[in-house]
Every structure is written in structure tokens, then in C-alpha cells.
Amino acid sequence: MSTITPPPEMSADSDASDIRSEGMIVQLTPPILRPYVYLMRLDRPYGAWLLLLPCWWSIALASQGTWPNVWFLVLFGLGAFIMRGAGCVMNDIADRDFDGRVARTANRPIPSGQVTIKRALAFLIFLGLLGCAILVQFNTFAIGVGVLSLVTVVIYPYMKRFTYWPQVFLGLSFNWGALLGWAAVQGSLGAAPGTLYAAGILWTLGYDTIYAHQDKEDDILIGIKSTALRLGNATRGWLVFFYGGCLALIALSGGLAGLSWAFYPALIPAALQLAWQVASVDIHNPKSCLLRFKSNRDFGLLVFAAMVVGQVLG
């Protein structure tokens, strides 16, 4: 087995690259394994949080007047980081030719030659098996719902080649946990998780449009489509629509699930967080876009806290 050379630290942490080598996880990982840490994006866990939080929302929403099941929160936490990693591997395999032509992604393990396609596929299978081991801890109905999510996971990486709205397909994939969390707790689905799922899709349309503005110049050159290119300077108005619709549907899902009156004032900080994003983002400044994108973890945690409050108070 040949040795894989880890990415140069200076190159990894340059302003152009989205790889970060200073984190504790990276530093504690043996150099030969670091390309797989980068492949899973464990150096940048914000995407895993964005996958996890709709799961936690749904678990809280389904808790019927009690605290969320802590064991379920832990299992979904592990599953989100593993499956987000698997999704990144799949996405990097699909985008390997494009990533090598974009400054932000050229140093990723596959386009830079640190991980071969064969090894990436083997790693993807390994992560899939870990994800299955977590999924089978839940009831049969939830297992079926989890398996269905694979359809959205497989479709998403290719949508940016065909439509200016690939973020819709990312939303379908990243917010599946809004259905799965409820299914794990209740063993069924209904209007409340369906409404929450729709809210999550609008949320993803907002935050990933902001994120996509970082790459719009490169995307134009290589022929990749995104909502950032489609909406352009009209983005701020669309963000009002996406985020406003998200908040309205989250509030409606709380009503459908029978949350108490306390849920609604507790949701105000989350609303203010989204308002700050819309009012302050500079779509022509990549650093501004990245900061607002990352702040969506805080929004998601605020929504989760509001749902817990709505279950245990009032």
C-alpha cells in the first residue's frame, strides 16, 4: 500500500483553500489519515451541524410534552457527522474534474491526488456501513424512511450541471432528518414533520445561496449552475422570502405538534438571527458570505431550544 502524502499545511490554510489544518481533530489524526479527515470535512463541521439540526428539531417536536430523548440525540449526532462525511465523499467523486479548476476546492484530497477514486469509493462504503449500523437502532418504519433518503443523496451532486436550483435538491437531502427524527420517536409521519421538512428546504435555499456566492465567478467559468447565479443582485429579496417562509412553517409545525404558547416567544431570537443575516450579508464579499453561512448553526440551535421550551413549559 503506497503512502498518501498529506496536503502541505501552508497550502491547506491559504486564503484560497477551504481546507483547514489547525483544528484539534486534524492535529490528532496521523498524517497518513488526514486526507480522509479532509474528505469528510471534519476540519469544517458546519455542514454536519446543518444536517443534524433538522433531526434534532424533529425529535424535539415529536416529544409530546417531555424532554427530547437524549439517546436519540446522540445517535443522530453520530449519524449526521458520518453521513455528511459520506455525502461529501460522493460529492467530491462526482465533482472531481470541476473541483480541480476552482481555487477554493483544488486542494481537496481527490482533485489534488491525495486520495484515489478507488480508495474514495472504499471509504464511502465504510462510512455507509457505519451509517447503517446507527440506522438499525431505530424502529422498522424509521429504517425505511432512512433508506429512502439515499435517493436524494445520490441525485444532488449532479443537479448543478442541469439546473440553477441545485439548492432545492440539497434541501431535500439535508433536511430529511426532519422526517426521520419524527419517525424514530413516533413510528409514523404526519403534517407536523412534513411542514418542518418544507421549512428546512427553504432554510437551505437561503443559507446555501449565500454560500454559493463565494464561488460564482469560478462557477461561470466552468459552467456550474447555482441559485447565486440565478438570483444575482436580487438575492437579498429572495432571502427574505426563503427565511420568512422557513420561520412561518417552523411556527406552523409547532402548532401542528401541539407545542405550548412558550414556543412562539422563544422563537424570536432565531427570527432575529435570520434577519441579521439578510440585513448584513455582502454577496460580493466571500468572507461575509462564509460568516453568515456558518452562523446558521446558531439559528438551528436557537430553533431547537425554542422547541424544547415549547414542550416543557406552558
Task: Count other Cβ atoms within 10 Å, centred on residue 65.
Answer: 11
What is the gyration radius of the CA atoms in the chain, in angstroms? 19
- Work out the pLDDT band at 127, boundaries 50, 70, 90: very high
Round to whole Å and give the CA distance between 313 and 9: 49
- Work out the pLDDT band at 15, boundaries 50, 70, 90: low
- Span 190-207, mean pLDDT? 97
Q: What is the DSSP string of 52-79?
A: HHHHHHHHHHTSSSS---HHHHHHHHHH
Residue 20: the pLDDT is 60
Round to whole Å and give the CA distance between 52 and 171: 13
pLDDT digits (tens, 9 = 90+) for 175-186: 999 999 999 999
- Work out the pLDDT band at 2, boundaries 50, 70, 90: very low
Q: What percentage of the chain reaches a pLDDT higher than 70?
A: 89
- Span 248-276, mean pLDDT? 97
Round to whole Å and give the CA distance between 129 and 94: 20
Most confident range, picked from 8-12, 96-100, 193-197:
193-197
| All three cell numbers of 29 | 489524526
| All three cell numbers of 198 | 418544507
- Work out the pLDDT band at 1, boundaries 50, 70, 90: very low
The mean pLDDT of the chain is 87
Task: Count other Cβ atoms within 10 Å, centred on residue 63.
Answer: 21
What letter does residue 161 receive in the DSSP assignment? T
- Work out the pLDDT band at 190, boundaries 50, 70, 90: very high
pLDDT digits (tens, 9 = 90+) for 101-121: 766 777 778 887 788 888 888
For the cut 90, the answer to whether the pLDDT of residue 47 exceeds it is: no
Among 232, 235, 207, CA closest to 219: 232
For the cut 80, the answer to whether the pLDDT of residue 21 exceeds it is: no
Window from 1-15, 102-116, 125-139 with minimum mean pLDDT: 1-15
H or E element at residue 155: helix 140-159
Better-predicted residue by pLDDT, 69 or 21: 69
Round to whole Å and give the CA distance between 80 and 53: 9
